[in-house]
Each structure stands twice: as C-alpha cells, then as structure tokens.
Amino acid sequence: MNTLFLDALHCRNTRRPPVWLMRQAGRYLPEYRALRASHSLLELFHTPQLAAAVTRLPLDRLGVDAAILFSDILVIAEAFGGSLHFEDGCKPRVVLPPSPRLRSVRETLAYVFETIRLLKKTLTVPLIGFCGGPFTVARYAELPLEEITRASIEYLLLQIEAGVDAVQLFDTWAGELGAEAFAAYCSDHLSKILRALEPTHVPVVVFCKGASRFLGALGQLPLRAISFDAEQEMQQLRRLVPPSVAVQGNLDPSLLRQAPSHIQSEVLRLLESMQGERGFIVNLGHGVPPDVPVAHVKCFVDTVLASH
Ligand code: CP3
C-alpha cells in the first residue's frame, strides 16, 4: 500500500508530497467519456462495478497517490426518499418527496458501501470517501441543515465501516459567505460531523472555497487537513494553519489549459515553496476542468512524482 497520502495527512516526513486531484475521474479522460457514451451518470453512480471501474481510471492513467470514490455529494438525498437527476451539461437537480424524512442510510445508499468494499479488495493507494458540507447540499436539496448533518454522520460512518481510509468534506458554497455567515451556517455543522467521526481516527480533510478567509473558524475544528483554493499562496497558508494540521492544494485548475512547460514550472514553483514542509498534499484549488487535455493533467502529476 502506498501510504504517502496518509503519512502527509498525519504530518509525517515523506520523500515527496503525495498528489491526487479533485475530479480526477472525469470528462477530460477519454476512457470516462467512452463509458459515459453507453451509461448515464446515474447508472455509473448506482452500479458498484462501474463506479469502482471509474474510480480506478485515474490510477491507471496518472499514477496518483490516492483514489476518490466515484459518486456525488447529492446522492444523500436518496436517504430522504429523494431522487437525483442530471440535466443537459450534467447540471444536477434533486427531487424530494412532499415531506422528506431520513430513512435507513445503510439500505438507501447500500450501492455506495458495496462500491467501497469492491475497491478495497484491489486498491494499492488509500481510498477517500466523502460527503458534502450541509450548507452546500442544502443549496441543491431543500432539507434542514440539522437533518443533512445527521444523515451525513451516518453516511460517513458507514463509508468508514465499508473501508475508506480518509474522508473529505466538500463545502464548496461556503465560498459565497463572509466569515460571520460561515460561522453561522457552516462551521457548527462541520464541527458536529468532525466530532462524530473523531472516535474512528480516520483522517478528515475539509474543502471549502474561500477557506483562507475562514481560518479563524476552521482552526477550531478537529480536522486533519484543510484543502485550499487558489486565492492565496500555499506557503503563506502553511504559516497560518497549526503545524499539526496538513494543507492540501492549491493550483488554479485553469493552469491545466496552459502549455505543459508552463504547467511544469508552476508545479515546480509550488513544490520549491513547500520544500521541507511536513503535511503537504498537492492538488488543485478545485476540480479538474472537463475540457483540458489528458497530457496536461499527466504533466501536472508527473512533475510531482518525479520530484523526490
Ligand atoms: O472528485 C471526484 O471526482 C469524486 C466524485 C465527485 C463528483 N462530484 C462526481 C461528479 C465529487 C467529490 C463531487 C462533489 C460535488 N458534487 C460538489 C462539491 C465539489 C465541487 O466540485 O464543487 C458539488 C457542488 C456537486 C454537485 C454537482 N454534481 C454539480 C454542481 C455537478 C455539475 C457540474 C460539474 O461539476 O460537472 C455535478 C455533476 C458531477 N458530479 C459530475 C461528476 C464526475 C459531472 C458529470 C460528468 O463529468 O460526466
């Protein structure tokens, strides 16, 4: 098992920083587009063999140091009797029953746990499970934040039981908020989830857009790592985050549209600025854009892999 990612999460010394990418299994990959030509997105999410195969695509193609479960933060609506639909351009829409109530997460999302169990039989890198931050999920599904939080805790505990090695919380829409609103709408719920997971000792990464503006609140939470967008230089962020907390990120995804020589020099600049720092994981500030050449993504990852 390649443990670089878990070592970095625990701020242990590593010979090079680990690298993985948000949305590493996506439309920029020809193998993914080929699967999407014969299967809908929901079919891919709902069929454990297919979801596991998609999860593995970037491992074979790029050699990244971690796998992220292929699913979506919005499938949790199914635990409330809701259904998820993807319209043209993959825009998600959640349909909820008239009075949604939380049902058995173990049963309604059984296919997710089955996908995890399948993957764990063969993976040689850690598997990242995830869910959305309640505030972000509520932007798509009209459910009370407390109910989403309750469901998320149960959902993540079951992902852990099925075998995920780490968890990432995606609170993308937090970036729309100011520090006060973040404290009011996001951090209490994130905190409840983090506290409920603490006894499992599974490391948790929190991704918020605008995280660099919420360090006061994020610094109080029992998290293992913060995933940053590209708003500020990583080296500066490292100094603002407690040394026991790892940092992940944070190159601008649009970098992947530039020439490979430029991608390489920006990755090297990031690596040099973080040289000697423990607890650093290379990633983007947000997901891989769907329209970038695979060769550019490979150049990004290869530059990190070659850096020891
Ligand atoms: O990182 C990964 O590849 C793991 C799988 C994953 C997906 N969605 C698959 C997906 C993860 C971690 C997500 C998170 C997610 N989903 C977020 C939070 C992070 C973020 O990107 O902001 C949000 C807000 C959603 C809801 C959602 N799902 C949106 C807004 C969209 C459409 C826009 C888009 O990004 O494409 C989706 C569709 C979706 N979820 C796709 C994938 C691979 C795109 C469909 C495709 O590529 O065929």
pTM, whole model, 2 decimals?
Answer: 0.97
Cα 120-158-62 angle, rounded to 5 deg: 35
Q: How many domains does the chain have?
A: 1
Q: Which domain holds residue 53?
A: 4-305
3-state SS of 191-205? HHHHHHHHHHCCCEE
Assess whether the previous peptide bond of 250 is cis (omega < 30° from 0): yes
> Which residues are CB-contacts of 285 (< 8 A; sequence separation ≥ 6)?
228, 229, 230, 231, 249, 250, 251, 252, 253
Which pLDDT score, from 0 to 100, does residue 214 have?
95
Distance 38 CA to ligand 1 centre (A): 19
In three-state secondary structure terms, 95 is: strand
The pLDDT value recorded for residue 133 is 98
Any idea what the CATH number is for the domain that residue 57 is in? 3.20.20.210
Tokens representing residue 95 in the block: 């349909």
For atom 43 of ligand 1, the residue with the nearest CA is 26
| Torsion region of 210: left, alpha or beta (phi above 0 gives left; psi -120 to 50 gives alpha) | left
CA distances to 46, 119, 142 from 77, in Å = 14, 24, 10
CB under 6 Å to ligand 1: residues?
A: 22-27, 36, 41, 68, 70-74, 90-92, 130, 132, 136, 170, 172, 287, 290
Could you read off the pLDDT tens digit of each residue along the chain, which spans 308 residues? Answer: 999 999 999 999 999 999 999 999 999 999 999 999 999 999 999 999 999 999 999 999 999 999 999 999 999 999 999 999 999 878 999 999 999 999 999 999 999 999 999 999 999 999 999 999 999 999 999 999 999 999 999 999 999 999 999 999 999 999 999 999 999 999 999 999 999 999 999 999 999 999 999 999 999 999 999 999 999 999 999 999 999 999 999 999 999 999 999 999 999 999 999 999 999 999 999 999 999 999 999 999 999 999 97
Which residues touch 211 (CB under 8 Å, ≥6 apart)?
Answer: 174, 218, 226, 227, 228, 229
For residues 284 and 62, what is the distance between their CA atoms, to the nearest angstrom?
15
Pocket test for ligand 1, best of 21, 23, 281 (most atoms within 8 A of CB): 23
**What pLDDT shows up at residue 89?**
75
Indicate the burial class of 176 (C-beta count within 10 angstroms; 0-12, 13-18, 19 or more).
Answer: middle
Q: How far, in Å, CA of 147 to CA of 115, rounded?
A: 25
125 CA distance to ligand 1 middle (Å): 22
Question: Residue 125 has what pLDDT?
Answer: 98
Residue 88 confidence (pLDDT): 82
